[in-house]
């Protein structure tokens, strides 16, 4: 189903195509239809859609029928554009954020060669038959947007400080749920409810839903922890304080219709995290941790516990501040989810700054390397939960990771915990700093001999490490690539022989 706002584009394309086919100029068509050249130009560029009487005049001038002119079917050489408009791809591409006018882009495509049309058609078909059609365009665009900005956004940091000042929030490690709830209720006339969602088991996995009818309401999942509730309220405050209207009212990123919604969801989440984890308080804590001669799980855990924040919020905040304040701008971040009943490890979130590794390859239905500290901690917490059913703590850990057959090494700090919305789900968050001269000067416990060292890779399928007891799948992708290189080498040798 073609989006309503694209119908003007299609009509304009058809009108232009018919006019050119009839070898008519805009002036010729203006004279025959009794419409102005400027008005026709606006129609052809997709800016205006004519009324019925004007469509009839255009149809008569072009010697075609009214029905053919208003039909949404384009001629064959323009059919790739029709497919593009029918797909959800344009909704997910943040073209306006890159200064690209969609009308001008479509107009350019309409005058392109058949070869370019075929390329566009191939691209669309590939997107339809892959995960690209499921918000991956928007998510990848947002990830790159964050990486370009080194995941630090000064405008949002300033907004958080201004919000705190206006609402007389004192600088403190613990930003309480009751504090933010009070602001949301008094300043924005919200009503909070923690019981309604219990009546809808199909919504049990959602953290919260905001409603905008006669009264603004925020329906919180009763299973949320204090830190999660504080974060959700902080995000709702961000939407209102920053005046972001284009948003999803579901506090989940699983269904965000457009790039703008995804971007605003990110901004609101960033605002909430920065509000709860004050940079002026966190930075000295991390700097003091880095000065320690030996890694200490308990001290790292103690820093996390100072803040009313989830594990992911804490790690995300470190990624916000690392480049600007800690002088570390080469790292990766990811969250891995683990379902105990299916024994599946899934990459759920990722970010990388100034490194070449593409952890998105984990999404290719391959098996994540089981040698990561993340996996080790997930298995560790699974064992603890089997013994202590009510365990809700966090398990921290550290690993010196060396990529197999590479000179890349990372200091990986991680923490795992169980989920509270889905009972069988565990998650681990990891930040891996590239070990270079800068890191060696910043983190003193890098020389701690008690930190384990292990070779790692991206996925089992891409790794040829011998005698790997953690291996979950054979190195099929690596073997295919090796065969390809062998064929290339043989062809090169053959051509060299023929030339001599």
In this structure, how many other beta carbons lie within 10 angstroms of the beta carbon of residue 94?
18
Beta strands in 272-325 (DSSP E): none
Does residue 289 have a pLDDT over 80?
yes
Structure tokens at 84: 């593009």
Distance CA 253, CA 271 (A): 16
Confidence (pLDDT) at 400: 97
Q: Whose CA is closest to 222, among 189, 180, 193?
A: 193
Average pLDDT of every residue of the chain: 84
SS3 398: strand
In this structure, are strands 453-456 and 395-403 parallel, antiparallel, or unpaired? parallel
- Please answer whether residues 163 and 188 qualify as being in contact, where contact means their C-beta atoms are separated by less than 8 angstroms: no
Tens digit of each residue's pLDDT (9 = 90 or more) over 227-239? 999 999 999 999 9
Label residue 82 by pLDDT band (50, 70, 90): low
SS3 470: coil
Confidence (pLDDT) at 132: 47
Class of residue 341 by CB neighbours under 10 A (exposed 0-12, middle 13-18, buried 19+)? exposed
Q: Which of 217-226, 359-368, 388-397 has the lowest mean pLDDT?
A: 359-368
Q: Whose CA is closest to 374, among 406, 336, 410?
A: 336
CATH 2.40.128 at 150-276, yes or no: no
Does residue 346 have a pLDDT over 80?
yes
Does residue 415 have a pLDDT over 90?
yes
Does residue 7 have a pLDDT over 90?
no
Confidence (pLDDT) at 85: 65
Does residue 361 have a pLDDT over 70?
no
Q: Which of 53-62, 302-311, 314-323 has the lowest mean pLDDT?
A: 53-62
Tens digit of each residue's pLDDT (9 = 90 or more) over 93-146? 656 655 555 666 666 555 555 555 566 566 556 555 554 444 566 777 788 888
**Alpha carbon 478 to its chain's center:** 28
**Alpha carbon 402 to its chain's center:** 27
Tokens 């107009």 locate to 107
**To which H or E segment does residue 473 belong?**
none
Tens digit of each residue's pLDDT (9 = 90 or more) over 309-328? 999 999 999 999 999 999 99
Distance CA 495, CA 490 (A): 9
For the entire predicted model, the pTM comes to 0.77
Confidence (pLDDT) at 22: 87
Backbone angles phi, psi at 331, to 5 degrees: -160, 165
Name the CATH topology of 4-134.
434 Repressor (Amino-terminal Domain) (1.10.260)
Q: b/e map of 347-359 (b: 16 or more CB within 10 Å)? A: bbbbbbbebebeb
Q: Which of 55-64, 76-85, 151-160, 379-388 has the lowest mean pLDDT?
A: 76-85
**When comparing pLDDT for 295 and 421, which is higher?**
295
* 100 dihedral zone (left: phi>0; alpha: psi -120 to 50; beta): beta
Confidence (pLDDT) at 444: 96
Tens digit of each residue's pLDDT (9 = 90 or more) over 434-449? 999 999 999 999 999 9
Q: Which of 121-135, 164-178, 257-271, 378-392 has the lowest mean pLDDT?
A: 121-135
Label residue 201 by pLDDT band (50, 70, 90): confident
Biggest CA-to-CA distance, the chain:
86
| Domain extent listing, the chain | 4-134, 150-276, 281-473
- The dihedral through the CA atoms of 345, 377, 405, 463 has a sign that is negative
Average confidence (pLDDT) over 399-425? 89
The DSSP 8-state label assigned to residue 93 in this structure reads S
The torsion of the CA quartet 400, 404, 409, 411, rounded to 10 degrees, works out to -30
Average confidence (pLDDT) over 346-358? 84
Label residue 251 by pLDDT band (50, 70, 90): confident
Distance CA 190, CA 210 (A): 9
Average confidence (pLDDT) over 45-56? 88
């Amino acid at each position: 189903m073609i989006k309503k706002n694209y119908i003007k584009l299609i009509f304009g394309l058809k009108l232009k195509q018919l006019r050119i086919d009839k070898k008519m100029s805009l002036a010729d068509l203006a004279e025959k239809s009794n419409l102005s050249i400027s008005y026709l130009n606006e129609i052809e560029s997709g800016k205006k859609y004519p009324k019925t009487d004007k469509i009839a005049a255009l149809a008569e001038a072009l010697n075609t029928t009214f029905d053919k002119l208003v039909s949404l079917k384009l001629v064959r050489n323009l059919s790739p554009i029709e497919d593009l408009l029918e797909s959800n791809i344009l909704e997910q591409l943040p073209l306006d954020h890159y200064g690209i006018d969609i009308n001008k882009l479509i107009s350019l495509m309409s005058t392109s060669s058949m070869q370019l049309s075929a390329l566009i058609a191939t691209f669309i078909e590939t997107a339809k038959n892959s995960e690209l059609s499921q918000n991956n365009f928007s998510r990848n665009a947002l990830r790159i947007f964050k990486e370009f900005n080194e995941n630090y956004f000064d405008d949002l940091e300033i907004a958080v400080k201004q919000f705190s000042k206006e609402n007389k929030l004192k600088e403190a490690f613990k930003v309480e749920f009751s504090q933010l709830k009070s602001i949301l209720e008094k300043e924005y006339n919200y009503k909070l409810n923690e019981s309604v969602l219990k009546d809808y088991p199909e919504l049990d996995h959602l953290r919260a839903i905001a409603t905008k009818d006669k009264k603004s309401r925020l329906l919180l999942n009763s299973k949320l922890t204090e830190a999660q509730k504080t974060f959700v309220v902080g995000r709702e405050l961000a939407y209102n304080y920053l005046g972001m209207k284009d948003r999803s009212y579901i506090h989940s990123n699983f269904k965000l219709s457009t790039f703008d919604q995804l971007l605003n969801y990110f901004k609101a989440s960033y605002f909430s995290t920065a509000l709860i984890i004050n940079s002026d308080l966190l930075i000295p804590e991390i700097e003091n941790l880095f000065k320690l001669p030996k890694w200490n799980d308990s001290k790292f855990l103690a820093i996390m516990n100072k803040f009313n924040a989830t594990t992911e919020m804490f790690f995300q905040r470190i990624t916000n501040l690392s480049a600007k304040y800690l002088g570390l701008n080469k790292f990766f971040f990811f969250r891995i989810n683990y379902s105990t009943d299916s024994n599946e490890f899934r990459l759920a979130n990722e970010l990388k700054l100034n490194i070449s590794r593409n952890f998105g390859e984990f999404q290719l239905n391959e098996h994540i390397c089981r040698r990561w500290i993340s996996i080790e901690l997930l298995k560790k917490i699974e064992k603890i939960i089997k013994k202590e059913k009510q365990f809700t703590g966090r398990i921290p850990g550290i690993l010196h990771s060396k990529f197999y057959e590479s000179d890349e090494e990372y200091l990986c700090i991680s923490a795992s915990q169980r989920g509270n919305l889905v009972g069988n789900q565990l998650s681990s968050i990891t930040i891996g700093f590239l070990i270079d001269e800068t890191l060696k000067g910043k983190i003193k416990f890098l020389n701690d001999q008690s930190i384990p060292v292990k070779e790692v890779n991206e996925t089992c399928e891409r790794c040829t490490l011998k005698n790997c007891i953690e291996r979950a799948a054979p190195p099929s992708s690596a073997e295919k690539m090796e065969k390809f290189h062998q064929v290339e080498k043989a062809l090169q040798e053959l051509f060299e022989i023929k030339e001599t």
